[in-house]
Amino acid sequence: MNQRGSGILLHITTLFSDYGIGDIGPSAFEFVDFLSDAQQSYWQILPLNPTSPEFDNSPYHSTSAFAFNTLLISPDCMAGDGFLKKTDIAAIPQFPIGRVDFNGVIQFKEKIFSLAYGRFLREKTGLSEYKEFCRNNLRWLEDFALFTSLHRHYKGISWSSWPDEIKYRKPAALDAMRHSLKKMIEKEKFLQYVFYKQWQALRRYAKEKGIRLIGDIPIYVNYHSADVWTHPELFRLDNNLLPLVVAGVPPDYFSKTGQLWKNPLYCWEEHERENFSWWIDRVEHNLSLFDYTRIDHFRGLVAYWEVAATEKNAIKGRWVAAPGEKLLTVMKNRFDNLPIIAEDLGIITPDVSDLIDRFDLPGMRVLLFAFTGDPVKSPHAPHNLKQNCILYTGTHDNATIRGWLELDATPEDKQRLFNYMGREIPAEQLPAEFIRLAMMSVADTVIFPMQDIFGLGNKSRMNRPGTDAGNWQWQMEKGMVGHSVTQNLADMTRFFNRARKINYG
């Protein structure tokens, strides 16, 4: 990413779809066409791991660090591959416009997934390809499918409350459950295969169009996940396999009491003893799906905020050192050019910056942050940027640019902004001004949330950190990406020498 380029941040769920949620079918291919026509180089996507209503369907709270979110499977592509008939998806529920109804989507897709799996069992379509997928992903697939089936069998309760012989993974008990839940387990594996098959088709198309995909690795995993249940020795748990300490961040821009994420923290000593094999598998898996991957909360690889599991917020915690340099050294020896982006936002100390520089990783800058404090010394201000960074107008955790000026910006924020820009700017014009400001910067790569391309307000915001309801729901409406949007973005991209220079095809 050491040449001028630009791209769009847009999660799969937000693509337009007749089926209530964006998926990796026709609309995803159309979005690749838009990126190509608009001279973009990158499509950045949020984590593709399974989500659940218990965690507000957040892509950062998953039951697996390896498995795929099957809600993103395209019914149209399933029909095209012979797993469904057109009549199976003819009666579509009336989903909301512009908002994902996750509960409705789950009910609808469970129904068609059962039909697809039944046809797969009868007709054996793609059987050899399915078996190859299972062999290639054996290291995580079997445990995930068993975990998910047990989760349903035990009515969604945490694995820490499962019977002891299952909780502690006694081989005889697990074998018995594999036998009794065989059909459910095989269905889960089938759906994972279908997602992977569809995703690889999309990735090939993006490659042909010269679009590089950027993925996202949340630094931590959920306690209620196949990863923690399968590998408890890799996490800080007590004798009852409950978390001793949990992850979070101290009070910051987003919250006066900090953010208590409640994820179990790693037992880094055990990871070191295993030469970070779990992490290597995780990164390798992501790089089989993407060209680059972002590590969310990268500073947690240098030092992390440790909070006792009994605390109600993240105020009372402490910084604890992590072996980030050792981990990155192992990664660098394993992966060519270390295609990793460091999410280095928040409380960043010199040791974090030094590690990023030592491994020549691009960090993140957010233009919006330049005006929530003094822009003179802000690392996010255009005049203070370095080339090897990725500059965003905003991220999935921020207000949209228009929404920020309309609702969130203080009078002082606005005055700093207008002084910097040399004039007062109406809220509806600010997104375009921010995009232009980012485009003309020295940053090698600039990324824009699609909401800022459209100039939308805060109703289209994806996430509000520190809240656990009402997030991740915004969805594009049909026809939003018109010719003028494409042409304006293409013209600006060419003008600032960011037009796509590499074509994989």
Structure tokens at 337: 């050019």
- The model's pTM is 0.96
> Distance of alpha carbon 450 from its chain centroid, rounded?
15
Catalytic residue among 291, 397, 444, 452: 397
Cβ(441)–Cβ(385) under 8 Å? yes
What are 327-348's pLDDT values in tens digits? 999 999 999 889 999 999 988 9
What are 183-232's pLDDT values in tens digits? 999 999 999 999 999 999 999 999 999 999 999 999 999 999 999 999 99
Mean of all residue pLDDT scores within the chain: 96
Cβ(226)–Cβ(148) under 8 Å? yes
End-to-end Cα spacing for the chain: 18
Query: In the chain, pLDDT over 90 holds for what percent of residues?
Result: 95
Query: Is residue 503 scored above 60 in pLDDT?
Result: no
> Distance of alpha carbon 169 from its chain centroid, rounded?
30
Q: Which of 346, 59, 328 is closest to 216 using CA atoms?
A: 59
Catalytic residue among 143, 296, 344, 444: 296
List, in sequence order, the alpha helices (H) in 67-220.
75-80, 102-123, 127-136, 138-153, 164-167, 171-180, 182-208
Query: Catalytic residue at 274?
Result: no
Query: Catalytic residue at 343?
Result: yes
Query: Catalytic residue at 296?
Result: yes
Cβ(356)–Cβ(342) under 8 Å? yes
Specify the pLDDT at position 252.
76
Cβ(25)–Cβ(76) under 8 Å? yes
What are 379-434's pLDDT values in tens digits? 999 999 999 999 999 999 999 999 999 999 999 999 999 999 999 999 999 999 99
Q: Which amino acid is at 131?
A: K
Query: Is residue 505 scored above 60 in pLDDT?
Result: no
Tally of CA atoms within 13 A in the half-sphere of 291 that contains its CB: 16
Determine the 3-state secondary structure of 158 from DSSP. Answer: coil
Catalytic residue among 56, 188, 343, 344: 343
Query: In the chain, pLDDT over 70 holds for what percent of residues?
Result: 99
